[in-house]
Structures are given as structure tokens and as C-alpha cells.
Amino acid sequence: MRAWVVREPAPVADGPLELVEVPDPAPGAGEVRVCVRACGVCRTDLHVVEGDLPVRRDRVVPGHEIVGEVDRLGDGAARFEVGERIGIPWLRGTCGRCRHCRRGAENLCERSRYTGWTDHGGYAELAVVDEAYAYRLPDGLGDLDAAPLLCAGIIGYRALLRSRFRPGDRLGIWGFGGSAHLTAQVARSMGAELFVVTRGESGRALARALGAAWVGAPGQTPPVPLDAAITFAPAGETVPAALGALDAGGTLAIAGIHLSDIPSLDYQRHLFREREVRSVTANTRADGEAFLAIAGRVGLDVTTVAYGFESAREALNDLAHGRFAGAAVLDMLAA
């Protein structure tokens, strides 16, 4: 099969991705194999390719928002049928025995495995996964629209939970890309008043189209105190900006897996009066199932930009430079 591999991490403009021929993977016991139909292009892929995340597997195939059709079952696999459409997400394995797993926090498992980082992912024609970590996908969403749900959507949903958002709250979002535009719609369905700060005009336009009450550029502050906030941009300077916009008792959730250094915080301005800051680490399978159920019920308007499989480098480069709104997706079926 054809697959993109990370030859050696480097800035994406320097060409660290290489398109190669590799042997077709075979599903092991309890695993399924899928013919990949679409794979989202996530900022975490960019962190893997560029080396912001430490190398966990040499010449790894990136990609962890995979939509595909099951074409082969491993021994004992019975959850899905051949021909069924399923999704392969970021979290793909946990030990099930450690104290984190036992208390329902499998996202903190120290033996956890991740698609496109510790194991090969979906920038390829075929992919395998333990059936216990795959998802059934909502009806009514095409392959390209379903792909970003598998990380951008799920992680955004967990970030919303971590922000202690309550229906009707004023929610601030810093950065408005693939994850944020899905999270905003979930929050809006729960009556949120939405305030967005993001660098690109295309992202600001998308935020307005999705019903934001106020939209600003970096350096601008929402006009009213916020109950909750989420930072999606991997820039440490967004943290004091978001904390400074919170009302007393407000909570900030940091959604990224990688973040540049956070500037110094002023205790009185940023943290006093019981403001909180919380990080987000992966997700549990329960998070994924809950979010996909919401996505099917709410009817999310997923904004995607399609790239052909051979344009993976271009997609990542465009992501790095903020050249599109919404989420990029590799369309494996494009001519």
C-alpha cells in the first residue's frame, strides 16, 4: 500500500513527509483493518511531523481522524462486520489495569497508545485498530465531515467539560480552527453566549457565521467577563489573555497537546477570586461515545477543506500557516 511516513521530524516546509510503498498491514487478534476513505489533518499531526512531540515510533505514518470501511477481521474480532464504516481515533490502547484506568481516567494511562504517534495512522490506504477503540459514526455525515469528529470534535468536547461550562454560560474561545468550530456549535446548542479571539480573518468570519456574540483578534479582550474559556491555539500567550477575561470563579481549559511557554501570571489579575486553569489530556472512550451521540443529534455543520491523498504535505503546510477555516481532510477517494 501507499503511505506517508515521517522520514525525520523537521519543519513541514522542509519536506519531512515521504510517500512510500509499504507492506499491507494485517489485523491481529481482536483487531480490524479498514480501507481508509478519509483522514483528517489535525494540528497534532503537525506536532508529530515537526518534532514538537517526541518521536515514539521511527518512520511513523501520521493521521488519527480516520474514516474507513472494514475489509478484514482479526481472530476473535466480532464488534464490526466487513463492509461497515467505522472511525479510528487518537486514543487506540490502554492497559486497563493501572490506577488511572481503574478509576475511569484511561486518558491518563501511562501505557496508552495513540494512532499516528505510537502506532501507524491514516495517511495511508489501509489502517488497523483494536476494535474496542474504534467508533461507529453518526448517520447522515459523509466521510469528509465525519473525519474531524474523531479528534477535533472529541477533544473539543472534553475541553468543554474541563472548562466547567454550564448551559447558558458566556464561553470564550481562543483560536478557531477544526476543533474550536465544532466545540462552539455544541456549546451554542446548549445556549452558550460565545466570544472568540483568533488570528485569521477566515476563522473570525466562520465564528461570526456560527453565531458568536463577539469576535476579536489577538490582543483584544471580550467586552464582558466570561464564565468559562478554552484555548485551542498552541500559543502560551493565550493563557494569561484568557484568564484575564474570566469572571470570578471562571475556569480555563487548555485543549492543546503542545503549548509554547506561558508568560508570567499575575496572581491578582489572573488567578485570584477562584479562577482556575485546567489542562486536557487525550480523551476517554466514554467521551468519544458521548460526543458522537451529541453530534448525531445536533447536526453539526462541519467546515472542511479537502485535499487529495498525494497533497498531504500541502495540507499540513496550509494548516501551519492558517490558510483555511475549519478542518483539512485527506480525501482518499478523490480522483
**For residue range 77-115, what is the model confidence (pLDDT) as tens digits?**
999 999 999 999 999 999 999 999 999 999 999 999 999
Helix/strand number for the chain, H first, E second = 9, 17
What separation in angstroms does the CA of 116 have from each of 53, 57, 220, 301, 333? 12, 9, 36, 26, 20
Q: How many CB atoms lie within 10 A of CB 313?
A: 18
Contact 137, 289 (CB under 8 A): no
- Give the mean pLDDT of 160-168: 98
Q: Give the CATH fold of the 154-279 domain.
A: Rossmann fold (3.40.50)
Rounded to 5 degrees, what angle do the CA atoms 148, 55, 42 make? 15
Question: How do residues 244-276 score in pLDDT, each as one tens digit?
Answer: 999 999 999 999 899 999 999 999 999 999 999
- pLDDT band for position 215 (cuts 50, 70, 90): very high
- pLDDT band for position 335 (cuts 50, 70, 90): low
Q: Is 250 helix (H, G, I), strand (E, B) or coil?
A: strand
Question: Where do we find the cell 501570571?
Answer: 265
Q: Is 264 helix (H, G, I), strand (E, B) or coil?
A: coil
- Give the mean pLDDT of 221-231: 98
Q: How many CB atoms lie within 10 A of CB 219?
A: 9
Output b/e per residue, 74-101; b: 16+ Cβ within 10 A.
Answer: beebeebeeeebbbbbbbbbbeeebebb
The DSSP bridge pattern shows strands 126-130 and 31-41 to be antiparallel
Angstrom distance (rounded) from CA 146 to CA 140: 9
Angstrom distance (rounded) from CA 203 to CA 44: 19
Question: How do residues 272-331 score in pLDDT, each as one tens digit?
Answer: 999 999 999 999 999 999 999 999 999 899 999 999 999 999 999 999 999 999 999 999
pTM of the complete model: 0.94
Q: Where are the domains of the chain?
A: 2-152+282-331, 154-279
What the block records as the C-alpha cell of 68 is 474507513
Would 2-152+282-331 and 154-279 be classified into the same CATH topology?
A: no
Q: What's the Rg (C-alpha) of the chain?
A: 19
Angstrom distance (rounded) from CA 331 to CA 308: 5
- Specify the CATH class of 2-152+282-331 in words: alpha beta
Question: How do residues 170-184 score in pLDDT, each as one tens digit?
Answer: 999 999 999 999 999
* Helix 285-298 × helix 178-189 angle, to 10°: 70
pLDDT value at residue 265: 96
Q: Which amino acid appears at position 1 of this protein?
A: M
The DSSP letter of residue 55 is P
- Residue 180, phi then psi, degrees to nearest 5: -60, -40
- pLDDT band for position 334 (cuts 50, 70, 90): confident
